[in-house]
Amino acid sequence: MTARIDLSWASYQDHAILADIMFDAVRNGPSRYSEAQRAAWVPAPRSGDAWDERLLRQDIILVRSEGGTALGFMSLDADGYIDFAYIRPSAQGSGLFRQLYEAIELKAREMGETRLWVHASLMAQPAFEKMGFAIVEQQVVRIGDQSFERAEMERAL
Tens of pLDDT along 13-25? 999 999 999 999 9
Using DSSP bridges, classify how beta strands 59-65 and 5-9 pair: parallel, antiparallel or unpaired: antiparallel
d(CA 105, CA 130): 14
In a domain? residue 83: yes
Q: How far apart are CA 103 and CA 105, in angstroms?
A: 5
Average pLDDT over residues 50-73: 92
Provide the b/e sequence for 62-72 (b: ≥16 CB within 10 Å): bbbbeeeebbb
pLDDT at 1 over 70: no
Query: For the domain that residue 90 is a member of, what is the CATH number?
Result: 3.40.630.30
User: Is residue 123 situated within a structural domain?
Assistant: no
* Residue 47 covered by a domain: yes
Is residue 54 in some structural domain?
Answer: yes
Q: Taking Cα atoms as reference points, which of 126, 119, 68 lies closest to residue 97?
A: 126
Helix, strand or coil, per DSSP, at residue 43? coil
Structural domain total, the chain = 1
148 falls within a domain: no
- Mean pLDDT within 93-121: 96
Which structural domain, as residue segments, surrounds residue 94? 5-113
Asked whether residue 153 is domain-assigned, the answer is no
Q: Does pLDDT of 145 surpass 60? A: yes
pTM for the predicted model, two decimal places: 0.94
Residue 141 lies in a domain: no
* pLDDT reported for residue 65: 83
93 in a structural domain: yes
- Residue 12 identity: Y
DSSP string across 14-38 = GHHHHHHHHHHHHHHS--SS-HHHH
